[in-house]
Amino acid sequence: MDAKKKDRGFFGQPIGLRTLFLTEFWERFSYYGMRAILLFYMYYAIDKGGLGMNQVTAASVMSIYGSLVYMSSVIGGYISDRILGARRTVFWGGVLIMLGHIALSFPLGESGLFLSIGLITIGTGLLKPNVSEMVGGLYTDDDPRRDSGFSIYVMGINLGSLIAPQAVNSMWHHFSFHAGFSLAAIGMFIGLIVYWWDGRRYLPESSLHAPDPISGSELKKFYRRVAYGVVALIIIVAIMAFANALTVDNFIVILSVLGIALPVGYFVMMLTSKKVTKVERSRVVAYIPLFIAAAIFWAIEEQGSVVLALFAAEQTQLHFANFSISAPQFQMLNPFFIIIYSPIFAWLWLKLGKRQPSSPSKFWLGLVATAVSYFVLMIPLIGLSPAGKVSPLWLVLSWGIIEIGEMLISPVGLSATTKLAPKAFSSQMMSMWFLADSAGQAANAQLVKLFEPGNPSNEMMFFGITGVVTLVVGVILALLVPKIKPLMQGVN
């Protein structure tokens, strides 16, 4: 097979995309399978197999968990860029994720929950940004297949996410929560095997090496910073314990602040780094409004597994048209619509070629669609009594609209991040993309406390205010597009 043919061995894309497609398929199967039932596991009564947590606390834990998962991408980006290289970093991340799901597979109570959160948080931080960065590395900067390739990659993510909620939900209902979590562990194990076997043949040799290897003196500085961080955490926990303030809710508040402050510090670091050229610095500045827009989008999109999960359980008809629906099954709507839309958008961007809208334009259109998805949910709540239930078709419609927004933001944002990244911060810039999700979910950890499932007037206000804020940001971004494009220095 000649090089040119090999470079088009997967639906006209580089054959290495197949390896990364399948790796993310199984990683997302494990993650979203676990998330589909985790909220219910936390607040279901102990005699029903759950942990018996307060519902509001469980919702906040879900949100801050998601934030921590993406916050840890900073660690993964640094380790890949400076120490292990992308390919090895991804492998060890997968190992930790698998161990995290195994911890939930045993009836260890809250100890097992928080152990699992720690393992999956670090593991996903090692894996996620580096898989995405390797996808970008399969293409040259001017390859017109780039956005299309990322759309196919995102479809792989969502194929795993589509199958997982149904499979894990069935294991829960037929056996137990822990049986469901064990299926997630098996999924990650399969993903590791595929990645190890296929990656040796089709991933570039460069992915085994750190692009900016750390020196001996820098490594000592790195260890010192890690030690300082651990000591600082111990001091904070000790002070909270001494003040009788060491509660889950207070710890979530601290993590919420960190989730929003971390990307701010990261932008400052890149903009002041001597390793960043003038052109690269301009591109980072152009990336800031895209980051803010993405954070707002992800805040709403990630509410699907918390706010809309509660809405499905408490305010939605679960017996409809002779079908019985389980609340976790609604989590299948997100990947279902992305799978439907992905080939359409991949074809559209290829068809338009250089005539397609710029990345900032796609972003503001995505925010408008996101706002509309929440406005739609207000309609069935008008005049609804607290005992009333809404048709599940409203949730289907809402998810169908917001996923148009995701197709305009998620694969486009992944692609734009790789194109706008400074060379010395290639993996770490991808970490910034995931920090947008982290910041959105950090805000969610506090916002979900304002949502009262089963209270139509509260739900209507929550959806309405959230939608208006999103729409306003979308309009502002649209007005800023002419100023952002020159800062991108030739990147579209």
- Encode pLDDT of 34-51 as tens digits: 888 888 888 887 777 788
Summarize pLDDT for 51-102 with one digit per residue, the tens: 888 888 888 888 888 888 888 877 887 788 777 777 888 889 889 999 999 9
Distance CA(29)–CA(185), nearest Å, equals 9
Beta strands in 200-356 (DSSP E): 319-320, 323-324
Q: Structure tokens of 261?
A: 């402050």
Tell me the per-residue pLDDT of 151-203, one tens digit each, with 9 for 90 and over.
Answer: 777 777 778 888 888 888 888 878 888 888 888 888 888 888 888 887 777 67
Single pTM value for the model: 0.80
With H, G, I as helix, E, B as strand and everything else as coil, classify residue 440.
Answer: helix
Structure letter (DSSP) for residue 449:
G
Positive or negative, the Cα torsion across 106, 111, 117, 118? negative
**Domains contained in the chain, CATH given:** 12-212+244-487 (1.20.1250.20)
Q: How far is CA 234 from CA 64, 130, 211, 245, 492, in A?
A: 20, 30, 33, 14, 45
Question: Tens of pLDDT along 385-426?
Answer: 877 888 899 999 999 999 999 989 887 887 788 777 787 777
Q: Rounded CA gap, 238 and 215, in Å?
A: 35
Q: Which two tokens stand for residue 468?
A: 């208006």
User: Which ranges of 137-247 does DSSP label H, i.e. alpha helix?
Assistant: 146-174, 177-202, 216-242
The DSSP symbol for 210 reads -
Name residue 320's beta-bridge partners. Answer: 323
CB atoms within 10 A of CB 1: 8
pLDDT at residue 427, as a whole number: 65
With a CB cutoff of 8 Å and minimum separation 6, the contacts of 227 are: none
